[in-house]
Structure 1
Amino acid sequence: MVEGKKRGRKPKESLDRIKREPLEIVDENCEPLGVLSRGEVHARGLSHKAVHIFIFNSKGEIYLQKRNLDREEHPGLWSSSASGHLSPGEPLLLAAQRELKEELKLKVKLDEAFKVKPCAETNWECTTLFVGNTDKLPKPNPSEISEGKFFSISELERLIAESPEIFSPTFIYLWRIYKEYLAQE
């Protein structure tokens, strides 16, 4: 298991900066409508763009991160390998690569798997899932991640069945769609 230090952001300064971060709001088809602050987008439950990344190793295990307790969304829960919002006008692949580097210090070839429209399960995010493979050991960013671990698929399935509350709802939703996506390939 890879563990990060229990160190968070600079309390007020960073939270204020994050709430002011510009996000592109989108319609139900993920078409841009304008730009608002992250704080306003989340407070009003407006749809916006995000990327999630699933990283697998050569054993077929998936790397998950446990979100820090000070995270705005799903604190203390296991979630996708990496994820994040897009800056206005930012290409999807560049956003995924940026998040992977920021959160896990990894540079990995990523392939787009699928997109999902905004819904309650994704916190109204128009989400694009990217998938990558590496045997490099991720180095979790301690300001965002409390720990990280590779899970075998059987272990992950067992944990989701027995303790779904330890996972972010977005991860469970994307994982189910990903399994359907693989079955169709």
Structure 2
Amino acid sequence: MPSNPDEPFDVVNQHDDVIMQLPRHEVHRRRLFHRAVHILVYNSKGDIYMQRRSPTKDTYPNRWTTSCSGHVDAGETYDTAAVREISEELGICIDSADTLDDVFTHSPCRATGYEFIHVYRLVWDGEITFDPEEISEGRWFTPQDLEADMSAHHDDYAPSFHLVWELAKEAS
């Protein structure tokens, strides 16, 4: 379903401590710090699954981005959000975040949309069934093909993905 502008988000301070809750639209309009997760899904051959955001998304519609990403709901942990998001967006059901590898965390900045982000990695050779409300297209890229496409079509990729991709390469 489309994003709810009145969905409550935890607003956090510079230490990632929750300080209040406000509606999604207000948090984004005021560029307040909040939380999100990104999951990089690879297959056993080392290809990465990428999603093209739906044209109905409120930020960066139709742009390629992380395999799976989403906001941490009010009162939710990063790990719980990662498990929920990967199920909702890609139809991948995992028992717990223990199945995911922690890659890195990053503090809020313009590229992250003022979000503290936790980035995870999952190796998955099973079926992926993406949510067409969230994602208009999904496909596997070799890392080399992804790099070439990002170079040739820089603006076809969400700013957060550019940051996540560079930092994930450094972390591996």
With the shorter chain as reference, the TM-score category is over 0.9
Cα distance in 2 between the residues matched to 1:146 and 1:55:
17
One-letter amino acid matched to 1:118: P
Moved >2 Å (runs of 4+): none
One-letter amino acid matched to 1:120: R
| Residues 1:96 and 2:82 are matched in the alignment | yes
Cα distance in 2 between the residues matched to 1:60 and 1:158:
16
One-letter amino acid matched to 2:108: P
1:37 match: 23
Gaps of 5+ in 2: none
Question: Structure 1 residue 29: deviation in Å?
Answer: 2.4
One-letter amino acid matched to 1:85: H
Residue 130 (structure 2) aligned to one of 132, 140, 158: 140
Question: Structure 1 residue 137: deviation in Å?
Answer: 2.4
Question: Structure 1 residue 47: deviation in Å?
Answer: 0.8
Structure with greater helix percent? 1
Question: Structure 1 residue 162: deviation in Å?
Answer: 1.5
1:178 match: 168
2:155 match: 165
Aligned residue pairs, count: 168
| Residues 1:155 and 2:161 are matched in the alignment | no
Question: Structure 1 residue 31: deviation in Å?
Answer: 1.8
Could you say what secondary structure the match of 1:129 adopts?
A: strand
For each residue in 1:128-184, what CA deviation from the matched residue of structure 2 results, as whole angstroms up to 9, or x when unmatched?
A: 0011011112111011100100100000011111211111010011100111111xx
Question: Structure 1 residue 32: deviation in Å?
Answer: 1.4
Give % identity: 36
Question: Structure 1 residue 116: deviation in Å?
Answer: 0.3
Question: Structure 1 residue 111: deviation in Å?
Answer: 1.7
2:57 match: 71
For each residue in 1:21-58, what CA deviation from the matched residue of structure 2 results, as whole angstroms up to 9, or x when unmatched?
A: 01001112222111100010011111100001100001
Residue 62 (structure 1) aligned to one of 37, 48, 58: 48
One-letter amino acid matched to 1:140: F
| Residues 1:123 and 2:113 are matched in the alignment | yes
One-letter amino acid matched to 1:100: I
Contact 1:30 1:118 in 2 (8 A): no
Cα distance in 2 between the residues matched to 1:22 and 1:112:
26
Gaps of 5+ in 1: 1-8
2:9 match: 23
2:100 match: 110
TM-score (norm 2): 0.94
One-letter amino acid matched to 2:67: S
Could you say what secondary structure the match of 1:126 adopts?
A: strand
